[in-house]
Structure 1
Amino acid sequence: MFTTLVLVTAMLLAQGASPVAPEPILVDHHRGIPLRDGVTVYADVYRPSRSGRFPTIVVRTPYGVQRENVGVHDRMIQLAKLGYAVVNTDVRGRYESEGQWDPFRAEARDGYDVVEWAARQPWSTGKVAMQGGSYLGHVQWATLGEQPPSLVAAFPAVASTNLYANWITQGGAFHLAFNFGWGVVRMPYRIMQPQWYFTGPDAAPELRYEKLLEHLPLQTMDERAFNHPVKHWRDWLAHDSYDAYWKAISDEERFDRVQVPVMTQGGWFDIFLPGTIDGFVGVRTKGATERARSLTRMVIGPWGHGPSRKYGDLDFGADADRALFDYERRWHDFHMKGVKNGVDTDPPVQIFYMGINRWRGEQDWPIPGTQPSKWYLQPGGKLSTTAPAGEGATSYRYDPSDPVPTTGGNNCCGSPTIAGPVDQKPLDGRADIVRFTSDVLTAPVTIAGKVTMDLHATTDGKDTDWMIKLIDVYPDGKAYPMAEGILRARFREGLDKPQLLTPGQPYRYTIDLIGTAVVFQPGHRIRVDITSSNFPQFDRNLNTGDPLATGTRPRVAQQTIHHSAARPSAIVLPVVRGF
């Protein structure tokens, strides 16, 4: 271990406090933290150099705590300058930390051990909070279920709460681009690997992402890329339903053990939006203490995997880009220092309404008073609030060898895909997308909350996918996805209850489009796009019912969407009244 003295030259103004004189900051490098099984993980500890005890923040990362990671390093210095001690540690098996890297599996017990180690240090008050986003948020959820006694609050941003349901899959469909790009390309070993092998100008044609992701079976895609297997990739594919392997590490199974307040933060176009929402709702309704339930908060902006003003093709205005650090600081000051800054009286939900580009505070999620409004699919590609009469059906042909290419939507951080609110024009003319569009709106339609598709459909295969997009069509014809959802048909009874289809039999499906907040303006139209693929964001359903890992035989499927009086299909929009 060695120590660096960082001189602080800026004057700081804490909220509600007088200016603080500049002071040096200490960074203790390579601090060993012993875990219960004898493994040692290593951390950098940032703290004020003056003697004393400080409220302590734990950050656990698989991406390296080294000082070359400038953004993380600067954030830790900022917190130390504000009077916090920060323990920034590599997780087990990554970078300097000992042990075997096996994503997700040890984070609960390791998180408990690191929190309690931090609380015992002579520079700590014994009060500990956690923060960080993405995997750094997941490790917080895992730790929360272990109930470490020194933990006071947590701030998991853009994080999953159910690794099967809102990381590895959505609706049972495998997040191919993300899982492969993250789990095989960048994170197979102790040190994060570059992607230029697969994207750079010198990449072999057969190894470029656009070719590699077409490889079947998925089980050997790792060998195709690296000539050897990646264990966790094989494990994910082998456990292709929500079985005991996934339930053992699902935070949603343990919301009732969360004892402290949690701030969840996310984006309407983030891949982990379901975790952001489910985490808030889970703690608010199932948390183990009144303090946890009453003080848990949620913020969702028009973002992807982090705050920004512009995402996809849309600029949401200057107020959209809110610094995450401002939320973190305010949250920690309230819970760790007792600063009276209004965290306890803030609206529990703060969300950004797209379409009018405005933030608004809400009292809960679902928003109280929201009314479900059914918009029915109609013959001729119409969409209206009137239930269909008589007969009606629309058919298309889905060929896994020619899937619909990913064009916008909720994605992140794996192999390159186009994400966010992106104009759907490149998909115009495809015969394997059916579209249902409303008349031009004469008054605003404001929605905020969970969006679902009540779909009646038939396929001639044993399995298939149903991919749904909710689209805002502008007066100039540009069409931007506001929410999306997918369901692998075999999981229609539940992610832990796979059951193949009887070919040719109509089924009723409920497809979760997660959530959104948007005002569809007068002059716009509301559109629903339905197809059976979204590649490479999701793997291609081969329509055979073969196992995810080993399937190699694509078959063309004939798909029928029903919109008749007997089988009325509708998208259910959560309409906000009195907006």
Structure 2
Amino acid sequence: MLSVKQETLSMVTRDGIRLDADIYCPDSSESFPVLLMRQPYGRKIASTVVYAHPIWYASQGYIVVIQDVRGRGTSEGEFELFTDEIEDGLDTINWVSQLPKSTGKVGMYGFSYQGMTQLYAASGNHKALKTICPAMIAYDLYSDWAYENGAFCLQGNLGWAIQLAAETARLQGDTIAFQKLYQASRNLPLYDPIPANPNLLREVAQNSFYHDWLNHPYPDDYWGNLSPKNLLQMTDLPMLHIGGWFDTYLRGTLNLYKAMVSRSQFPQHLMIGPWGHLPWSQKVGSINYSKEAISYVDKYQIQWFDYFLKNKKTTLINSPSVSLFEMGTNQWRYFDSFPNNLHNSYYLFSQGLASIREDDGQLIESPPIESSRDIIVHDPWRPVPSLGGHASIPSGSFDRSDIDCRSDVLTYTSEPLREYLSIIGEIFLELYCTADTPSFDLCAVLSQVYPDGRVYNFTQGYIRVDSDEVPIKIPLQATCIRIEAGNCLRLSLSGAFFPAYPINTGTEKLPNEERLIDATIITLTVNCGGNKSSQIIL
């Protein structure tokens, strides 16, 4: 490992804004490629919540540049979410490629916002940018980040908006606003008259992106102009895609990966661990996935950059391009492409008491001839609480047996498995469900049930329904898990998952105008069997 020197340097964008960066350079007379990360949280953090420190990357023979984006840290300008990241990204690549000791070749890495800055910079097709490693990002900003199947991602969006607003208040020296936001961040959700539109953000963060996201509840030009999906059509680079089974942005990671695989002439590798958004460690939620789950992203990225920025030979490129962590066996599995196997269905059936008796609702392997229906009543005064999964904070797998005992949750459970069940890839629920209001929400959670009664979720999906079209198709988060013989598979259905998503008031109003006082009781009816065979498709 090389010794490393650190310094802080600045550049000026095409419109005269100074951007500051920490530069970590090997103490050597040689020239090195550049690894660039652009981020909004203060460059000293450098995404060390999930990655090794930049000094480690630099010691592997790279000039590492960690830059404060416009209006954050000590960089000048006004921070507007994602708005300036294309031009600023291109100007930065141009600058770092010409640093002393730079070979002129640039790679980028980072997750979340730092992943998005890679995509925006890459869309400019700068010749010095040779490869990127986007982790946990949105391909379509509307459907991969802000909303899930039409439902506003309340807890994630609100928590992030408060964090960014607090950082803005800190930079402005506004102690009162900062303390209010800091306190709110420790007491989410905020129980305002309009839960999704809290008074605090209107009071101290009028210019927050949050209001734009809330006020654009459908995919329109606002989202289209910001989404990497529309900006990357003419971009082709080798990419290392990184995700987590419990990350709220996994669908964005997979959508970008699939899009690039379909049209790229360069290698596209995919790695998905049993991780939430952070940290990338062996324990997520209540489950310890063993030391095998500890992130090896840093070493993988160095091999990746060595190949594309230094032309070093590596077995990485000729090895399977898809690495998926299989929960249950707690082992990594390797594929040449993301699995798209034949599907297997479990059908829902009961005697009408699936909300009352856990032994009534069944998952069976053949469509039931006899028709049945189950009814649950969603009471907004006591909504079904969110627990784990990809949309809650904290994320991950938890024992939800107490929640499944509620009478406003339908449970359908298989017989104990005669042999192990391996589930890999996409999962869908086709549900024949109606309600007595024109708008309602549905949450579907898949869990495994142990012989001692513990119930641990491993994937879920959520949808806001505002049409009478049936069956309702609910995509669940992709997964990779092996359920051992003797355990059972369970599907749990409810009309809420709060505060991960706002409570549907049943009024057809949008989240930015849904008052809690107007929320109505919603009766949902799920039909099974006959010509209305609801099914979970694995």
Asked if Structure 1 and Structure 2 have the same fold, meaning a TM-score greater than 0.5 normalized by the shorter chain, the answer is yes
Deviation at 1:199, TM superposition (A): 10
Mean CA deviation greater in 519-528 or 100-109? 100-109
Aligned length: 522
Aligned residue for 2:452? 476
What TM-score, normalized by structure 1, do the two folds share?
0.85
Deviation at 1:551, TM superposition (A): 1.6
What TM-score, normalized by structure 2, do the two folds share?
0.91
* 4+ residue runs over 4 A deviation: 67-74, 191-200, 224-228
How has the CA–CA distance of structure 1 residues 383 and 68 changed in structure 2, closer, same or farther, with 3 Å as cutoff?
closer
Alpha-carbon distance between aligned partners in 2 of 1:53 and 1:78, rounded to the nearest angstrom:
17
AA aligned opposite 1:466: L
How has the CA–CA distance of structure 1 residues 420 and 71 changed in structure 2, closer, same or farther, with 3 Å as cutoff?
closer
How has the CA–CA distance of structure 1 residues 401 and 67 changed in structure 2, closer, same or farther, with 3 Å as cutoff?
closer
Task: Output one character per residue of 1:453-504: Cα deviation in whole Å (capped at 9) or x when no partner.
Answer: 11111011121111111111112211111111111113xxxxxxxxxx3xxx
Residues 419-434 of structure 1: pairs in structure 2 closer than 5 A: 419-434=395-410
From 137, 141, 144, the counterpart of 1:163? 141
AA aligned opposite 1:430: R
Aligned residue for 1:558? 523
Deviation at 1:395, TM superposition (A): 1.0
Task: Output one character per residue of 1:316-370: Cα deviation in whole Å (capped at 9) or x when no partner.
Answer: 11211133211221111111111212121121110011111111101111x15x1
How has the CA–CA distance of structure 1 residues 345 and 244 changed in structure 2, closer, same or farther, with 3 Å as cutoff?
same
Contact 2:52 2:298 in 1 (8 A): no
From 490, 505, 508, the counterpart of 1:545? 508
Residues 25-36 of structure 1: pairs in structure 2 closer than 5 A: 25-29=4-8, 31-36=9-14
Contact 1:256 1:283 in 2 (8 A): no
From 364, 387, 392, the counterpart of 2:367? 387
Alpha-carbon distance between aligned partners in 2 of 1:192 and 1:277, rounded to the nearest angstrom:
35
From 268, 271, 276, the counterpart of 1:299? 271
SS of alignment partner, residue 53 of structure 2: helix
Aligned residue for 1:524? 487
SS of alignment partner, residue 545 of structure 1: coil
Alpha-carbon distance between aligned partners in 1 of 2:418 and 2:121, rounded to the nearest angstrom:
50
Contact 2:416 2:487 in 1 (8 A): yes
SS of alignment partner, residue 322 of structure 1: coil
Alpha-carbon distance between aligned partners in 1 of 2:305 and 2:165, rounded to the nearest angstrom:
31
Deviation at 1:562, TM superposition (A): 1.3
Asked if 1:262 is matched to 2:234, the reply is no
Asked if 1:350 is matched to 2:323, the reply is yes
Alpha-carbon distance between aligned partners in 2 of 1:453 and 1:71, rounded to the nearest angstrom:
35
AA aligned opposite 1:557: I
How has the CA–CA distance of structure 1 residues 64 and 537 changed in structure 2, closer, same or farther, with 3 Å as cutoff?
same
How has the CA–CA distance of structure 1 residues 225 and 37 changed in structure 2, closer, same or farther, with 3 Å as cutoff?
closer
Aligned residue for 2:357? none
Give the superposed CA RMSD: 2.5
Asked if 1:376 is matched to 2:347, the reply is yes
From 216, 220, 225, the counterpart of 1:243? 220
SS of alignment partner, residue 561 of structure 1: strand
SS of alignment partner, residue 247 of structure 1: helix
Deviation at 1:442, TM superposition (A): 0.4
How has the CA–CA distance of structure 1 residues 68 and 148 changed in structure 2, closer, same or farther, with 3 Å as cutoff?
closer
From 439, 442, 449, the counterpart of 1:466? 442
Asked if 1:568 is matched to 2:533, the reply is yes
AA aligned opposite 2:481: V
How has the CA–CA distance of structure 1 residues 250 and 73 changed in structure 2, closer, same or farther, with 3 Å as cutoff?
closer
Aligned residue for 2:198? 221
Alpha-carbon distance between aligned partners in 2 of 1:172 and 1:162, rounded to the nearest angstrom:
13
Alpha-carbon distance between aligned partners in 1 of 2:474 and 2:50, rounded to the nearest angstrom:
38
AA aligned opposite 1:538: Y
Alpha-carbon distance between aligned partners in 1 of 2:293 and 2:51, rounded to the nearest angstrom:
25
Contact 2:43 2:68 in 1 (8 A): yes
Deviation at 1:261, TM superposition (A): 0.8
% identity of equivalent residues: 29
Deviation at 1:427, TM superposition (A): 0.8
Asked if 1:175 is matched to 2:153, the reply is yes
Alpha-carbon distance between aligned partners in 1 of 2:15 and 2:388, rounded to the nearest angstrom:
44
AA aligned opposite 1:133: F
Alpha-carbon distance between aligned partners in 1 of 2:487 and 2:197, rounded to the nearest angstrom:
46
Task: Output one character per residue of 1:291-330: Cα deviation in whole Å (capped at 9) or x when no partner.
Answer: 2xxx110111111123211111111112111332112211
Residues 326-365 of structure 1: pairs in structure 2 closer than 5 A: 326-365=299-338
Aligned residue for 1:280? 257
